[in-house]
């Protein structure tokens, strides 16, 4: 039996599927990944700095660069690809327990996945927040200001520093999101890890945790991951092609 046949069989037999998704799922939508050969952090030595809270809050030049990168980001032109839509089909079949995503692009929600099933571990780049008063709003508001020449847009209410509602380095992850992810890993009968290097914790640790709770594991990723040896099937095919084949329309 090929790995694809084994993976398709496991998906067909499972009724409580946990999808773990990473940047590789969105590359077919035109959003570069982080650690691949053409990844954002591979090509830009300052990319991690603009994603670090202390630099962002104290260095205006870092904020300006962060806002320019945000305003010009590929996410604004991106649309869900067949991989995202396959997970929507899985939900409609009643077999998707939830999605735990490391992506901040919001494409799962744009594809039609139910918000209550999508757990965004690293936040959502499509909204902004003021660090001083907590005011929030759609990121398109701030992007429009940057395009109009405001290279460090401040809060319209209090003048405080604004930022995307994503988790930066030096910040704690949302405890409620992590609790939900852990609960899904305990209850899942299959983990479908899609487009994630499985090197960033705590999300990566959900794979062995679910395995210890008797879940099967299918990994769909272009690169090797540390947990390939735990998987029942590993697929290297392009995600936007193979995921719809794994999840036939119900």
Q: Catalytic amino acids? A: 122
| Alpha-carbon span 110 to 183, nearest angstrom | 25
By CB neighbour count within 10 A (0-12 exposed, 13-18 middle, 19+ buried), where does 2 fall? exposed
Nearest to 123 by CA among 137, 106, 135, 140: 106
Tokens of 73: 């980001």
Count of helix runs (H) and strand runs (E) in the chain: 10, 9
The helix/strand/coil state of 229 is helix
Q: Are strands 233-235 and 216-220 parallel, antiparallel or unpaired?
A: parallel
For residue 249, which of 93, 83, 110 has the smallest C-alpha distance? 93
Q: Which residues of 16-38 are buried (b: 16+ CB within 10 A; e: fewer)?
A: ebbbbbbbbbbbbbebbbbebee
| φ and ψ at residue 245, rounded to 5 degrees | -75, -30
Distances in Å between the Cα of 44 and the Cα atoms of 35, 69, 121 are: 11, 11, 23
Q: In the block, which residue shows the tokens 């909204």? A: 127
């Amino acid at each position: 039996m090929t790995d694809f046949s084994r993976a398709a069989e496991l998906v067909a037999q499972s009724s409580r599927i946990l999808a773990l998704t990473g940047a590789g799922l969105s590359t077919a939508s035109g959003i570069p990944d982080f650690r691949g050969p053409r990844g954002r952090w591979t090509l830009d030595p300052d990319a991690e700095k603009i994603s670090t809270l202390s630099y962002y809050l104290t260095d205006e030049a870092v904020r300006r660069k962060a806002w320019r990168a945000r305003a010009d980001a590929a996410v604004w032109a991106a649309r869900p690809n067949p991989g995202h839509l396959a997970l929507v089909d899985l939900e409609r079949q009643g077999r998707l327990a939830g999605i735990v995503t490391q992506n901040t692009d919001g494409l799962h929600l744009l594809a039609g996945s139910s918000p209550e099933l999508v757990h965004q571990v690293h936040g959502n780049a499509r909204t902004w927040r003021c660090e001083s008063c907590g005011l929030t709003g759609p990121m398109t508001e701030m992007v429009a200001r940057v395009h109009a020449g405001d290279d460090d847009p401040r809060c319209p209410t209090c003048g405080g520093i604004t930022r995307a509602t994503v988790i930066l380095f030096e910040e704690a992850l949302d405890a409620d999101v992590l609790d939900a992810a852990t609960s899904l890993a305990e209850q899942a009968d299959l983990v479908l890890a899609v487009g994630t290097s499985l090197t960033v914790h705590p999300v990566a640790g959900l794979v062995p945790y679910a395995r210890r709770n008797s879940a099967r594991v299918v990994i769909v990723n272009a690169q090797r991951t540390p947990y390939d040896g735990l998987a029942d099937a590993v697929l290297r095919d392009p995600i936007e092609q193979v995921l719809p084949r794994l999840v036939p329309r119900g």
